[in-house]
């Protein structure tokens, strides 16, 4: 999956990511055993791969986890504005490869926004007033293309002590008069500072930087701050954070072009619907299965790199973090205490509320995340709707296989096809089928790898 003319192959962690995906939701690799406390019905819950880019189930669950944690335990009850920074194509390859450079660009953006919030804040905040921010580096665009850009959720105002650094309670100074036009006016400032950073690091010459400053408009830089969420709109805040933490692609936009052509055929094509029309008017992308894998492989983030970061009063070692994250939540809890618990329908009756009193642990229960993503609770008994509890986690093949054999579920994982032959073999006029070509799959009868139990509609991944 190396493009023509490219010297370096894909990074080693991409193969590891794809191979992990092949183990996701497969009972043969182990499972959790759950039993209903009321009627005694049992369910097997397969383990997940926890991949960071390829697996739609795991990436959507991680998106829900991050958004729920930030909205419930980090961002206080104050207005939050989303800022999105995009750089011209000439600068993007360096942001994809150099994490230190991306961090420096992010710090430039935060300093510019902080200065603007100080100028527009109500109540004349002191010079040491601080913002709170959570940043996300997206390595992808809406068309499965490499496009590094930043999404930031920043408090629309500054925090400061009423009586200086050491005394008095924490007070929030909201921004006044800050709108989309005023936020867009900061783009030239960010443009000049980022170009100077590239020149200092030897990534651009002085002549190239000066030429980019003469480009029409803002020279490919884009800074948007038009989306603002009120402090009491926690549902809207969680939707915004889900957009910031979203995975590279959405599975519901991907479909085969024709149901009559098997995906193993060389003529198979996939269609990926774009969320909005492209500049050339396209509304979808047509590509082969291998082209899809190639695009996804280039969007996989490197290992041990944070997908989001905390800044200002939300930083891990910030002295005001505890007070800032709880700011204004007491009033929201008091206002919501009179409401009936679990009123309404859907998942509201299945999981705890999103208020500050909900689960504040560093890792949320996977059942709650599945309920938020798929609107169904995996630990609710399908027979009596009672509560199911986990009995054991089984990973030993000597224990797993007899259980699956007794339930008539495949005890071995599906075989992985070997890599196809080199392109030179396609030029040979060989009539006999290749040993690695298993395109002739049975199209009728039961699926040879059916993990569903009798009367069950499938399994869940833990």
Residue 394: beta bridge partners?
31
Residue-level pLDDT at 414: 84
Query: Residue 434 carries which DSSP code?
Result: P
Looking at the structure of the chain, the number of domains it has is 3
232 and 305, same domain (yes or no): yes
H or E segment at 144?
none
**How far is Cα 382 from Cα 386, in angstroms, rounded to an integer?**
8
Instruction: Looking at the structure, tell me whether residues 106 and 228 fall in a common domain.
Output: yes
Residue 195, pLDDT score:
96
Encode 203-232: b = buried (16+ Cβ within 10 Å), e = exposed: bbeeeebeebeeeeeebbbbbebeebbebe
The model carries a pTM of 0.79
Residue 202, number of CB atoms within 10 A of its CB: 7
CA–CA distance, 49 with 251 (Å, rounded to integer):
17
Range(s) of the domain holding residue 36: 12-55+331-435+450-461
2 within a domain of the structure (yes/no): no
Extract the residue ranges of the chain whose pLDDT is less than 50. Answer: 1-8, 337-363, 429-445, 457-460
Looking at the structure, tell me whether residues 285 and 315 fall in a common domain: no
What pLDDT does 15 receive?
85
Please give the Cα distance from 313 to 40 (Å, whole number): 49
For residue 63, tell me if it sits in a domain: no
Q: pLDDT digits over 171-213, tens only? A: 999 999 899 999 999 999 999 999 999 999 999 999 999 999 9
In a domain, 317, yes or no: yes
Does residue 5 lie in a domain region? no
pLDDT digits (tens, 9 = 90+) for 337-376: 444 444 433 444 444 333 333 444 444 566 666 666 555 6
Q: Kindly state whether residues 287 and 310 are assigned to the same domain.
A: no
- Does 86 lie in the same domain as 192? yes
39 inside domain: yes
394 shares its domain with 355: yes
Strand-pairing partners, residue 152, are 83, 135
């Amino acid at each position: 999956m190396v493009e023509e003319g490219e010297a370096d192959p894909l990074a080693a962690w991409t193969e590891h990511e794809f191979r992990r995906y092949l183990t996701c939701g497969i009972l043969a690799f182990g499972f959790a055993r759950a039993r209903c406390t009321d009627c005694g019905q049992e369910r097997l819950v397969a383990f997940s791969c926890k991949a960071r880019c390829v697996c739609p189930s795991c990436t959507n669950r991680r998106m829900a986890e991050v958004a729920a944690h930030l909205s419930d335990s980090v961002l206080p009850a104050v207005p939050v504005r989303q800022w999105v920074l995009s750089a011209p194509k000439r600068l993007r390859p360096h942001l994809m490869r150099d994490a230190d450079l991306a961090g420096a660009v992010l710090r430039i953006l935060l300093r510019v926004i902080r200065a603007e919030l100080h100028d527009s804040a109500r109540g004349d905040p002191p010079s040491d007033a601080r913002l709170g921010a959570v940043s996300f580096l997206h390595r992808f665009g809406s068309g499965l293309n490499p496009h590094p850009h930043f999404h930031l959720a920043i408090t629309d105002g500054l925090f400061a002590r009423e009586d200086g650094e050491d005394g008095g309670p924490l007070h929030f100074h909201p921004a006044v008069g800050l709108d989309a036009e005023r936020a867009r006016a900061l783009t030239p400032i960010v443009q000049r500072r980022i170009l100077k950073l590239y020149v200092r690091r030897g990534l651009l010459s002085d002549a190239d930087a000066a030429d980019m400053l003469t480009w029409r408009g803002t020279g490919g830089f884009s800074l948007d701050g038009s989306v603002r969420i009120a402090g009491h709109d926690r549902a809207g805040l969680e939707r915004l954070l889900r957009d910031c933490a979203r995975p590279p692609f959405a599975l519901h936009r991907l479909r085969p072009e024709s149901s009559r052509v098997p995906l193993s055929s060389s003529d198979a094509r996939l269609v990926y619907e774009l969320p909005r029309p492209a500049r050339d008017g396209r509304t979808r992308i047509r590509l082969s299965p291998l082209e899809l894998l190639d695009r996804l492989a280039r969007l996989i983030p490197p290992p041990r790199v944070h997908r989001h970061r905390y800044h200002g009063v939300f930083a891990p070692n910030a002295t005001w973090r505890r007070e800032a994250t709880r700011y204004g939540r007491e009033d929201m809890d008091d206002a919501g205490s009179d409401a009936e618990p679990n009123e309404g329908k859907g998942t509201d009756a299945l999981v705890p509320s999103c208020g500050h009193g909900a689960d504040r642990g560093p890792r949320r229960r996977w059942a709650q995340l599945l309920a938020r993503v798929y609107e169904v609770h995996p630990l609710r008994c399908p027979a009596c709707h009672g509560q199911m509890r986990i009995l054991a986690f089984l990973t030993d093949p000597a224990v797993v296989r007899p259980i699956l054999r007794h339930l008539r579920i495949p005890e071995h994982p599906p075989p992985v096809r070997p890599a196809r032959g080199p392109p030179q073999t396609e030029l040979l006029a060989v009539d006999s089928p290749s040993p690695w070509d298993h395109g002739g799959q049975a199209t009728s009868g039961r699926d040879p790898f059916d993990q569903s139990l009798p009367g069950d509609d499938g399994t869940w991944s833990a």
